[in-house]
Amino acid sequence: VSRKSLAEFPGIIPGFINTEQIAVITTDKIYALYGHAVVDGLRIKGNVLEIFIPEGEKAKSLDQVEKVYTTLLENRFERNSLIIAFGGGVVGDMAGFVAATYLRGVPLVQLPTTLLAQVDSSIGGKVGVNHPLGKNLIGAFKHPLFVFSDCDVLMTLEPAELRCGLGEVIKYGFISDSRLFEYLESHLDEALDGNPDVLLELVKASAAIKADVVRQDEREQNLRMILNFGHTFGHALEAESHFSTIKHGEAVILGMQCALEYTRLSGLLGENVYQRGMRLLKRVPVPYDGSELHISRLVERMTLDKKVKDKKIRLVLIDDIGSYRIETVADIDTLEKAWKILI
Ligand SMILES: NC(=O)c1ccc[n+]([C@@H]2O[C@H](COP(=O)([O-])OP(=O)(O)OC[C@H]3O[C@@H](n4cnc5c(N)ncnc54)[C@H](O)[C@@H]3O)[C@@H](O)[C@H]2O)c1
Ligand SMILES: [Zn+2]
């Protein structure tokens, strides 16, 4: 994690990699912005094949994956060829899935270019694509050789994309790092403005937390669940908005607000912590019209969440800034009240 470092990236590719065959999977937009900084240096090392995939979630499909397989096969890519996922979370998930499955797996490097990808999706090995029946249902675990984050690329992100990444950063502060939370309290506005020095600090702290959690629980048996703070609520909002009117990170910001409401109403959270948490969350603007939402449907969605076991909703909550707790929902009324306050 560093600044102004894209040109140094090719120099750290390990010697055992066959640099005669490097595929950079990316999109037109990212390539136009930063392609040369990366590819010029790679060309000095070896042969580079650029593979362009479409923008957005539609790139995360088995059809698109098959097209990439075809290009790799036509260019005779082998088992020790390298795939570089160069882009946001969409590119990382899709190119990572290709790397996990092409010839039963080839080396992968993640070169994330969105805040969300730098703090979350590039770390932890979850790669995959969507199915017509749901998001992220087809996938694998595939860890990259390394993740390389240059925070200066974040300066060209749309404000909404920065907000989405910040949702995940704030989440890390809540569940495990009160110092990160304090840093956010004093630097959130600069982060929202895309200040690269501030973003550097946030990416460093967040990537360390994500890596640490995943190291302890790679396959999501227990601890990894804490990364879901705000997400059970947020997923319900995303689903009820048909994944169109609200972005994931924005839904997580509202989801964390709802989680704080629920915890306070359940008598599990002190007023001071509640106020402090809400104050930070409300400083991130989330343009969203919730007037069409139905509370009973949101609750129903929560019971359908893939993290639910035996029809019981298990929630990741906090009992202090930087300290998580896991609770099973005993009282649906309280859940409904929390949604009502949020809406
Ligand atoms: N694998 C995981 O653990 C994990 C975790 C969280 C999210 N995800 C997945 O990540 C995806 C979302 O990722 P995302 O939020 O990065 O979205 P994204 O990849 O769609 O990127 C968002 C937008 O930003 C643009 N962009 C990327 N880098 C840019 C830059 N430096 N400057 C300007 N524009 C840039 C992209 O072209 C795109 O239009 C979802 O598919 C989600 O399921 C995966
Ligand atoms: Zn998330």
pLDDT per residue as tens digits for the range 107-118: 999 999 999 999
CB of 88 shorter than 6 A to ligand 1 = yes
Helix (H) or strand (E) holding 65: helix 62-74
Band of the pLDDT at 308, cuts 50, 70, 90? low
Whether residue 19 has pLDDT greater than 90:
no
Atom of ligand 1 nearest to the CA of 29: 37
Is 218 among the catalytic positions? Answer: no
Contacts of 193 (CB under 8 A, 6+ apart): none
Q: How confident is the model at residue 306 (pLDDT cuts 50, 70, 90)?
A: low
Q: Which residue has its alpha carbon closest to ligand 1 atom 6?
A: 121
pLDDT at 244: 82
| Residue with CA closest to ligand 1 atom 42 | 89
**Residue 18 alpha carbon to ligand 2 centre in Å:** 34
CA of 106 to the centre of ligand 2 (A): 27
For residue 215, indicate whether it is catalytic.
no
Alpha carbon of 307 to ligand 2 centroid (Å): 13
Q: How far does residue 161's CA lie from ligand 1's centre (Å)?
A: 8
Q: Which residue has the higher pLDDT, 14 or 151?
A: 151
Query: Is there an atom of ligand 1 within 6 Å of 33 CB?
Result: yes
Which tokens go with 301? 């969605």
Percent of the chain with pLDDT over 90: 86
Active site residue 66: no
Nearest residue (CA) to ligand 1, atom 5: 121
How many whole angstroms separate alpha carbon 220 and alpha carbon 145?
A: 21
Half-sphere exposure of 298 (CA within 13 A, CB side): 27
State both tokens at 229. 């703070």
Q: How large is the C-alpha radius of gyration of the chain?
A: 20
Looking up tokens 């629980």 gives 217
126-131/134-141 β-pairing: antiparallel
Q: How far apart are CA 272 and CA 216, in angstroms?
A: 31
Q: Which helix (H) or strand (E) holds 156?
A: none
Residue 134: CB within 6 Å of ligand 1? no
Ligand with an atom nearest the CA of residue 92: 1
The answer to whether the CB of 266 is under 6 A from ligand 1 is: no
94-152: per-residue pLDDT in tens? 999 999 999 999 999 999 999 999 999 999 999 999 999 888 999 999 999 999 999 99
Residue 175, Cβ density class (10 Å: 0-12 exposed, 13-18 middle, ≥19 buried): buried
